[in-house]
Chain A
Protein backbone atom coordinates (compact mmCIF):
# COMPACT_ATOMS: atom_id res chain seq x y z
CA UNK A 1 0.00 0.00 0.00
CA UNK A 2 1.38 3.36 -1.08
CA UNK A 3 1.93 5.91 1.65
CA UNK A 4 2.47 9.59 0.85
CA UNK A 5 4.70 11.17 3.45
CA UNK A 6 4.69 14.75 4.74
CA UNK A 7 6.30 16.37 7.74
CA UNK A 8 3.66 16.28 10.52
CA UNK A 9 4.57 19.78 11.63
CA UNK A 10 6.82 22.66 10.71
CA UNK A 11 7.56 26.05 12.14
CA UNK A 12 8.60 29.26 10.39
CA UNK A 13 9.24 32.79 11.56
CA UNK A 14 7.14 35.62 10.15
CA UNK A 15 8.76 36.76 6.92
CA UNK A 16 10.77 33.59 6.69
CA UNK A 17 10.89 30.87 4.06
CA UNK A 18 9.78 27.30 4.55
CA UNK A 19 9.75 24.27 2.26
CA UNK A 20 7.29 21.46 2.91
CA UNK A 21 7.88 18.14 1.19
CA UNK A 22 5.79 15.28 -0.12
CA UNK A 23 7.35 11.89 -0.69
CA UNK A 24 6.51 8.27 -1.33
CA UNK A 25 7.10 5.40 1.06
CA UNK A 26 8.46 3.50 -1.90
CA UNK A 27 9.91 5.25 -4.89
CA UNK A 28 10.18 8.83 -6.07
CA UNK A 29 7.59 11.47 -6.76
CA UNK A 30 7.66 12.54 -10.39
CA UNK A 31 5.68 14.81 -12.68
CA UNK A 32 3.67 11.74 -13.63
CA UNK A 33 2.15 11.88 -10.14
CA UNK A 34 0.86 15.40 -10.94
CA UNK A 35 1.62 16.70 -7.42
CA UNK A 36 -0.87 19.23 -6.12
CA UNK A 37 -1.04 21.13 -2.85
CA UNK A 38 -4.00 22.23 -0.74
CA UNK A 39 -4.31 24.62 2.17
CA UNK A 40 -6.87 24.07 4.90
CA UNK A 41 -7.79 26.23 7.86
CA UNK A 42 -9.75 24.66 10.72
CA UNK A 43 -13.41 24.09 9.93
CA UNK A 44 -13.01 25.11 6.31
CA UNK A 45 -12.87 23.25 3.03
CA UNK A 46 -9.47 22.81 1.40
CA UNK A 47 -8.24 25.49 -0.97
CA UNK A 48 -6.20 24.58 -4.03
CA UNK A 49 -2.75 26.18 -4.08
CA UNK A 50 -0.55 24.40 -6.61
CA UNK A 51 -1.15 21.82 -9.34
CA UNK A 52 0.98 19.94 -11.85
CA UNK A 53 3.95 20.32 -9.51
CA UNK A 54 4.46 24.06 -9.96
CA UNK A 55 1.39 25.87 -11.35
CA UNK A 56 -0.33 28.27 -8.99
CA UNK A 57 -4.09 28.11 -8.84
CA UNK A 58 -6.01 31.27 -9.66
CA UNK A 59 -5.69 33.92 -6.98
CA UNK A 60 -2.85 32.26 -5.09
CA UNK A 61 -0.08 34.71 -4.15
CA UNK A 62 3.28 34.21 -5.84
CA UNK A 63 4.96 33.65 -2.49
CA UNK A 64 3.62 30.09 -2.80
CA UNK A 65 5.59 27.97 -5.23
CA UNK A 66 5.82 24.29 -6.06
CA UNK A 67 8.60 22.13 -7.41
CA UNK A 68 10.11 18.68 -7.56
CA UNK A 69 13.17 18.55 -5.30
CA UNK A 70 15.11 15.36 -5.71
CA UNK A 71 12.67 12.52 -5.19
CA UNK A 72 9.93 14.60 -3.55
CA UNK A 73 7.42 17.27 -4.40
CA UNK A 74 7.89 20.50 -2.50
CA UNK A 75 5.83 23.52 -1.51
CA UNK A 76 7.81 26.64 -0.68
CA UNK A 77 6.33 29.61 1.12
CA UNK A 78 8.44 32.76 0.87
CA UNK A 79 7.79 35.61 3.27
CA UNK A 80 5.51 33.64 5.58
CA UNK A 81 2.59 35.51 7.06
CA UNK A 82 0.51 34.86 10.16
CA UNK A 83 -2.47 33.70 8.14
CA UNK A 84 -0.33 31.02 6.49
CA UNK A 85 -0.60 29.15 9.78
CA UNK A 86 -2.80 26.15 8.92
CA UNK A 87 -2.62 22.65 7.44
CA UNK A 88 -1.11 21.80 4.07
CA UNK A 89 -1.81 18.62 2.12
CA UNK A 90 -0.20 17.19 -0.96
CA UNK A 91 -2.08 14.94 -3.36
CA UNK A 92 -0.55 12.48 -5.79
CA UNK A 93 -2.09 10.66 -8.71
CA UNK A 94 -1.00 7.02 -8.59
CA UNK A 95 -2.52 5.94 -11.89
CA UNK A 96 -5.52 3.75 -12.66
CA UNK A 97 -7.86 6.34 -11.16
CA UNK A 98 -6.24 6.18 -7.73
CA UNK A 99 -5.34 9.29 -5.73
CA UNK A 100 -3.52 9.47 -2.41
CA UNK A 101 -3.26 12.40 -0.01
CA UNK A 102 -0.31 12.93 2.25
CA UNK A 103 -0.95 13.00 5.98
CA UNK A 104 -0.68 16.78 6.04
CA UNK A 105 1.72 19.29 7.58
CA UNK A 106 0.61 21.68 10.29
CA UNK A 107 2.49 24.92 9.78
CA UNK A 108 3.10 27.25 12.68
CA UNK A 109 4.16 30.84 12.08
CA UNK A 110 5.91 32.25 15.17
Chain B
Protein backbone atom coordinates (compact mmCIF):
# COMPACT_ATOMS: atom_id res chain seq x y z
CA UNK B 1 0.00 0.00 0.00
CA UNK B 2 1.35 3.40 -0.99
CA UNK B 3 1.81 5.75 1.94
CA UNK B 4 3.06 9.32 2.02
CA UNK B 5 3.51 10.91 5.43
CA UNK B 6 4.45 14.56 5.72
CA UNK B 7 6.08 16.15 8.74
CA UNK B 8 7.98 19.27 9.73
CA UNK B 9 5.24 21.87 9.66
CA UNK B 10 4.72 24.39 12.40
CA UNK B 11 4.66 28.04 13.37
CA UNK B 12 7.48 30.19 12.03
CA UNK B 13 8.09 33.93 11.96
CA UNK B 14 8.18 35.89 8.70
CA UNK B 15 11.58 35.57 7.10
CA UNK B 16 12.18 32.26 8.85
CA UNK B 17 12.93 28.80 7.52
CA UNK B 18 11.46 25.33 7.79
CA UNK B 19 12.16 21.93 6.25
CA UNK B 20 9.29 19.67 5.37
CA UNK B 21 9.71 15.93 4.93
CA UNK B 22 7.58 13.32 3.20
CA UNK B 23 8.28 9.69 4.08
CA UNK B 24 7.27 7.35 1.27
CA UNK B 25 6.53 3.64 1.38
CA UNK B 26 4.75 0.97 -0.62
CA UNK B 27 6.37 1.75 -3.97
CA UNK B 28 9.82 2.06 -5.54
CA UNK B 29 10.49 5.64 -4.50
CA UNK B 30 13.54 6.12 -6.70
CA UNK B 31 11.57 5.55 -9.91
CA UNK B 32 8.89 8.21 -9.52
CA UNK B 33 8.85 11.97 -9.80
CA UNK B 34 7.38 13.61 -6.73
CA UNK B 35 5.51 16.83 -6.07
CA UNK B 36 4.66 19.36 -3.39
CA UNK B 37 1.25 21.02 -3.48
CA UNK B 38 -0.08 23.55 -0.99
CA UNK B 39 -3.46 24.86 0.06
CA UNK B 40 -3.87 28.14 1.94
CA UNK B 41 -6.73 28.27 4.46
CA UNK B 42 -10.04 28.42 2.62
CA UNK B 43 -8.31 28.50 -0.76
CA UNK B 44 -7.65 26.15 -3.64
CA UNK B 45 -4.79 23.83 -4.45
CA UNK B 46 -1.52 25.28 -5.75
CA UNK B 47 1.27 23.24 -7.33
CA UNK B 48 4.55 24.25 -5.66
CA UNK B 49 7.36 22.08 -6.96
CA UNK B 50 8.38 18.93 -8.83
CA UNK B 51 11.49 16.78 -8.60
CA UNK B 52 12.33 14.12 -11.15
CA UNK B 53 12.88 10.50 -10.21
CA UNK B 54 16.65 10.91 -10.30
CA UNK B 55 16.56 14.25 -8.52
CA UNK B 56 18.41 15.81 -11.42
CA UNK B 57 15.56 18.06 -12.52
CA UNK B 58 13.53 20.39 -10.35
CA UNK B 59 10.75 22.83 -11.15
CA UNK B 60 9.07 25.54 -9.11
CA UNK B 61 6.03 27.77 -9.18
CA UNK B 62 6.93 31.43 -9.68
CA UNK B 63 5.52 32.21 -6.23
CA UNK B 64 8.24 30.18 -4.48
CA UNK B 65 11.15 30.23 -6.94
CA UNK B 66 14.37 31.28 -5.30
CA UNK B 67 13.01 30.69 -1.79
CA UNK B 68 12.01 27.00 -1.71
CA UNK B 69 14.19 24.02 -2.60
CA UNK B 70 12.92 20.51 -3.32
CA UNK B 71 15.18 17.50 -2.83
CA UNK B 72 15.00 13.78 -2.26
CA UNK B 73 16.99 11.03 -0.56
CA UNK B 74 16.27 7.68 -2.17
CA UNK B 75 18.30 5.85 0.51
CA UNK B 76 15.73 7.09 3.02
CA UNK B 77 12.69 7.07 0.71
CA UNK B 78 12.11 10.66 1.72
CA UNK B 79 11.14 13.82 -0.13
CA UNK B 80 12.02 17.24 1.27
CA UNK B 81 11.01 20.84 0.81
CA UNK B 82 13.25 23.52 2.28
CA UNK B 83 11.29 26.72 2.86
CA UNK B 84 13.34 29.90 3.27
CA UNK B 85 12.34 33.55 3.40
CA UNK B 86 8.86 32.61 4.54
CA UNK B 87 6.02 35.08 4.12
CA UNK B 88 2.53 35.25 5.55
CA UNK B 89 1.16 34.15 2.19
CA UNK B 90 3.09 30.88 2.46
CA UNK B 91 0.75 29.83 5.28
CA UNK B 92 -0.86 26.64 4.02
CA UNK B 93 -1.21 22.91 4.34
CA UNK B 94 1.59 21.36 2.31
CA UNK B 95 0.92 18.02 0.63
CA UNK B 96 3.37 15.71 -1.04
CA UNK B 97 2.13 13.67 -3.97
CA UNK B 98 3.46 10.94 -6.20
CA UNK B 99 3.50 10.88 -9.99
CA UNK B 100 1.14 8.46 -11.68
CA UNK B 101 2.12 5.10 -13.08
CA UNK B 102 3.40 4.97 -16.66
CA UNK B 103 2.45 5.07 -19.43
CA UNK B 104 -0.34 7.52 -18.56
CA UNK B 105 1.69 9.11 -15.79
CA UNK B 106 0.89 12.80 -16.14
CA UNK B 107 -1.09 13.11 -12.95
CA UNK B 108 -0.75 12.87 -9.20
CA UNK B 109 -1.96 9.48 -8.05
CA UNK B 110 -1.31 9.37 -4.30
CA UNK B 111 -1.34 12.16 -1.76
CA UNK B 112 -0.19 12.50 1.82
CA UNK B 113 -2.40 13.94 4.54
CA UNK B 114 -0.49 17.23 4.65
CA UNK B 115 1.43 19.28 7.17
CA UNK B 116 0.43 22.78 8.23
CA UNK B 117 2.86 25.67 7.93
CA UNK B 118 1.86 28.90 9.66
CA UNK B 119 3.90 32.03 9.07
CA UNK B 120 3.12 34.64 11.67
CA UNK B 121 4.81 36.90 14.19
A binding-site residues for B, Cβ under 8 Å: 1, 34, 36, 38, 40, 45-48, 51-52, 55, 57, 87, 89, 91, 93, 96-104
Contact = CB atoms under 8 A, between A and B. Distances in A.
Interface of B: 35, 37, 44-47, 50, 57, 59, 61-62, 95, 100, 104, 106-114
B109 A57 contact: yes
A36 B95 contact: no
A87 B45 CA distance: 11
A86 B21 CA distance: 28
Given A51-B100, A104-B45, A45 B106 contact: no
B95 A45 contact: yes
Nearest to B52: A97
B100 A91 contact: no
